[in-house]
Structure 1
């Protein structure tokens, strides 16, 4: 009797190698750059990730409309691309980039700041606005907190921030200890933290703080005034917000950015964002994503 070969029949190897090669080619073959654009045009709908942070992107409870600075700009741009419908996908801010990369939505429209760290994970459009920082504090600002440096300098001061936002980098840059930083999943819970006395100050963009206080209507809360912008190497820093795209969606990003550039600064753009507190003062002043993605 012939002893079976311990490695199995030799005649099966060519077939196995053929299917293995075919699988590897299929797995490694790049996705066509125009894939997302073609798909949303065919569906006549784009899925947009947002974190329910007014005035950048939120669901208006009165009208049920997905709105804010970023969604209204996106509506104009995608209409120029032949897409009429926009569907918001609510996500915690810290999960926006993972959600985009996982394909839960096609675009992030949340007023997300462009930073070199984020540029390593996603691609950005050119920015749509520039804005500074602000604090919400208890009435009378008991600890006299007028900037991130003030929080760092007072051992009893605790700072509230929304998880995943750029403000955490500002806090780290000025030396606020991590054990005096409280992270919240979203804006409403962060505001509740100030009310409950769990933090002495809540950091956010000036526009976010302005909107939060207006909607809260709470006489026991106020905006820290004056406010000193955080500084990096002696220069006050400002945040620049933009739309985010998956790496590999270069064609979609390019055509979106072209229409966006045509729109920014026009009277139609100003009218679209004016209801959310944006004015000519918040225009990005020629700043580009390429500049903002450069390591500092």
Structure 2
């Protein structure tokens, strides 16, 4: 083969090898991880004095440190997290995302990192005492969350009021526009602790597991996150974060 043709063949082979290389290997080796969240769900993720904070924020930063990487955060509405991840707008989504069969069809999840579940939040003087009392009542839920379909399937008599943000959901309860809000347990208990006049029903609607979402074509990144999670659990970092954010409940 002539030298020019040989060089061209080698270049083509190298380009082909790069094109078919697993994307996960590239993402997992990158110095910076682009991570998306909807920072409106205290104590998991929220903003305070203009900065992101919360359990998920601290957890992701600890995982990145264990992996020897930096985090570049981006904010997005909750309903856009999975579509944005699939569209390669970022590498990782962490935002109190429940691991569900429906989501697992389109994205991969790490091993569960915290147990949550859906609960009902009402005003302190509400006549609603049990989950059965929700039937026929107005209940606020956040668009894109499991609460929407869960109430539709299991509590069809509930009048769902769908909103974009958690603050709206809780505010509607506070001003009496709705009778209850159905949301994740950490956020509900956080609100009841920090804003007088609210309480959480004792019985949970569901028990769920939170996971960190990555694309299905990046198993190396998922595995690296799992290894980092094991590491921070072994060295006590994870336990310290749980104590920091959930010591009162």
Q: Is the 8 A contact 2:37 2:78 kept in 1?
A: yes
Aligned to 2:43: 55
Aligned to 1:10: none
Q: Quote the residue 1:117 is aligned against.
A: 102
RMSD: 2.4
Q: Could you say what secondary structure the match of 1:112 adopts? A: coil
Q: Which residue of 2 aligns with 1:223?
A: 199
| Matches for 1:175-254 after TM superposition, within 5 Å | 175-177=155-157, 180-215=159-194, 217=195, 219=196, 221-225=197-201, 227-230=202-205, 237-254=206-223
Partner of 1:100: 85
1:38 offset after TM fit, Å?
2.5
TM-score (norm 2): 0.83
Distance 2:236 2:24 in 1: 33
Post-superposition, which runs of at least 4 consecutive aligned residues in structure 1 deviate over 4 A?
28-31
Q: Which residue of structure 2 lines up, in the alignment, with residue 70 of structure 1?
A: 56
Equivalent residue for 2:152?
A: 172
Gapped regions of structure 1 (runs ≥ 5): 1-24, 231-236, 282-296
Q: Partners in 2 of 1:139 and 1:211 — Cα distance?
A: 15
1: distance between equivalents of 2:82 and 2:169? 21
The answer as to 2:114 corresponding to 1:129 is yes
Q: Which residue of 2 aligns with 1:262?
A: 231
In the aligned structure 1, how far is the partner of 2:28 from the partner of 2:101? 25
The alpha carbon displacement at 1:50 in A equals 0.9
Query: Where in structure 2 are there 5+ consecutive unaligned residues?
Result: 1-15
Cα shift at 1:110: 0.8
Q: How much has 1:34 moved relative to structure 2? A: 0.7
Aligned length: 232
